Amino acid sequence: MDIKLEELKILFDEKQIREKIKELSAKLNKLYKGEEVIAICALKGAVIFASDLIRELNMPLRIEFIRLSSYGSSTKSSGKVNAVDIKLPDLNEKNVLIIEDIVDTGLTAKFLVDFIHMNFHVKSLKFCSLLDKKVTRKVEIEPDFYGFDIDDKFVVGYGLDYDEHYRNLPYIAYK
Ligand code: 5GP
């Protein structure tokens, strides 16, 4: 599949995304009640969402970045998660919030949650994804928080790419 800018249809515009981030951040602010959080942003896709979301969070917060890949240049998951770069500080006894762009098969989310539980005794672990593609799930995992539920569409924009393009679009779109 090839995706051209002029073929893209907007699924969620800037205003809808902004409002959704306000809703999500209000829930997170209520949950953590001023306790320190270590946010873990899964690169590259979640970088725009994470940077907008954390600016609405009011607790003391540190951010870490990890890099995983499961798609390569295709529009379907390879079914295998590659840990490209996972260097994390000591997360023992910390409130950890994983920030993802989208949960699709769920393999990446499961990999990350298992990885953190295997390596640390965290105080709490929550998973927040902007998008949730429930229909394509292959493993049993649900984000604790998500912005929008979408059906089986390949989406781009607002951090999400097609072969490394379109991450800079301020909206989320599909072909
Ligand atoms: P999963 O491991 O849940 O199958 O996939 C998670 C990763 O696949 C996401 O973090 C994202 O990078 C990529 N992905 C899944 N669905 C889409 C999509 O519709 N568009 C784009 N651009 N990436 C997607």
* DSSP E strand boundaries for 30-154: 37-43, 61-69, 82-85, 95-103, 124-132, 145-149
Pocket of ligand 1 contains residue 95 by CB under 6 Å: no
Query: Residue 161 has which token pair?
Result: 């790419």
Pocket of ligand 1 contains residue 102 by CB under 6 Å: yes
Per-domain residue ranges of the chain: 35-155
Q: Which CATH architecture has domain 35-155?
A: 3-Layer(aba) Sandwich (3.40)
Confidence of residue 73 (pLDDT cuts 50, 70, 90): low
Active-site hit among 52, 101, 104, 132: 104
For 112-132, write each residue's pLDDT tens digit: 999 999 999 999 999 999 999
163 is catalytic: no
Mean pLDDT of all residues in 61-66 = 97
Pocket of ligand 1 contains residue 159 by CB under 6 Å: no
pTM confidence score: 0.94
Residue closest by Cα to atom 19 of ligand 1: 154
pLDDT of residue 1 exceeding 80, the answer is no
